Amino acid sequence: MNVRIDRCDKQHAGKSRSAHADRLTANYVTRFFLIVALASVILSSERCYAEWPFPRGDAQASGVAATGLPENLAQLWRFRSTGSGFEATAAIADGTVYVGDVDGTFYAIQIGDGDLLWQKKFENSGFLAGAAVVEKRIYVGDFNGLIRCLDAASGDVIWTYQARGEVYAAPNVVGQRVLVTTESGELLCLSKQDGNELWKFEIDAPLRCWPMIVGNRVLLAGCDSRLHAVEIDSGKEVGGIDLDGPTGATPALWDDSVFFGTESGTFYRLTPSDILWQTHDADRKQPIRTSAAVDQRAVVFGSQGKRVVALDPSNGKPIWAIPARSAVESSPIIAGNLVFVATKRGRLIALDLATGKERWQFDAGGNFQASPAVADGKLVLGNTDGILYCFGEPTTADD
């Protein structure tokens, strides 16, 4: 079974919103900036590790790899699923690639040579979202709303939790809590140890973004056309800001703010209380459904308007924009001086971050819905034809 939701349900976008969440108080704004400063220090230390344990690389969803990749990549190996396809972004930890297919089989594969370590078939299941891998455990949800905690060494189930709605984004893990968004508009906070529900936050529209963490807040971009800030300890909304349209894109953190686009084709830089800047793709009617990759040099995203765009993160001014020949639903990543982006026509492209000039490309065929994952000097990406590719430094006969 292959289920895909392409856009936010706009009939929910105009529903009433809680009055207590209209704006942050001045005290919260101050706390927010202090938290961001601390998160930036933590993020710098986390990037010392060459892993990709979350779909956007780190808990701040930056989409930036710890190390660069060569301009001319070689295909090192490929792994074929058992008659299914990949739409989920891979997670990489401890030299192992973890990814599920759309028909309910979850795999653990050695990143060094592509050898299968284990696989588990879950009946009446399918994985459209990636996993979080933290402290030898895998946390992943399926399109039936079943959230599983698996042992990373064996794939054995440690606990499960049945949510009311489908899960289209990977869980996130902070401290002893697992955070999951669902199609029914819930943000669930579960015990990391046993999966028991600790609290639940709800909106009147689907939640399809990854629950991005800043200090002790979760930031959620919702299909109700609002950015929500939710306190991790209590599950209470402590601030937010209205948007010009619904979105399922995950906010990406850089400096003191987050970046993401909407179904209306607007791309934002904002805090939970202020819009710092906003801009529109060349055709404003074209939705922006990918998450952005951002560092001090550029913020990069793809659009349904068949373009990849790089903006100056400080002011939103264009750096470059290139045609992609097809819609971009795979979120780009930054690795060193390159941007890697995959398209619906099965092309994986390396672009120069400064100029947008194409440096390398690979035609895989199929359709890339998943986003690249980078660790150990390798890039891993699966397509809807059911092939998981691994690219890296070309080897010689003597290697």
H runs (alpha helix) in the chain:
26-46
Distance CA 352, CA 196 (A): 46
- Please state, in angstroms and rounded to a whole number, the distance separating the CA atoms of residues 329 and 303: 7
Q: What is the dihedral of CA 364, 208, 149, 254, to 10 degrees?
A: 80
pLDDT at 325: 82
Domain that includes residue 228, residue range: 10-392
- For position 7, what pLDDT does the model report? 52
Cβ contact 94:152 at 8 Å: yes
Average pLDDT over residues 321-335: 91
Q: Tens digit of pLDDT for each residue in 45-92?
A: 333 347 999 999 998 899 999 989 998 899 999 999 988 999 999 999
Residue 367 domain-assigned (yes or no): yes
What distance lies between CA 216 and its chain's CA centroid?
19
Do the domain assignments include residue 68? yes
Residue 217 vs residue 26, higher pLDDT: 217
Confidence band for 340, pLDDT divided at 50, 70 and 90? very high
Beta bridge partners of 349: 341, 361
Is residue 218 a contact partner of residue 229, using CB atoms and an 8 Å limit?
yes
Is 358 part of any domain? yes
Tell me, yes or no, whether 54 lies in a domain: yes
Q: Please give the average per-residue pLDDT across 246-258, as a whole number.
A: 93
Residue 4 inside a domain? The answer is no
What is the predicted pLDDT for the residue at 19? 36
Q: Six-digit token pair at 205?
A: 């529209």
pLDDT digits (tens, 9 = 90+) for 217-226: 999 999 999 9
Distance CA 245, CA 7 (A): 11
399 within some domain: no
The tally of domains found in the chain comes to 1
Instruction: State how far the Cα of 144 lies from the Cα of 23, in Å rounded to an integer.
Output: 34
The reply to whether 397 falls in a domain is: no
Query: Would the pLDDT of 309 be above 90?
Result: yes
Q: Is residue 325 part of a domain?
A: yes
Check which CATH number belongs to the domain holding 83 and give it: 2.130.10.10
pLDDT over threshold 90, residue 215: no
CB 145 within 8 Å of CB 128: no
The pTM of this model reads 0.88
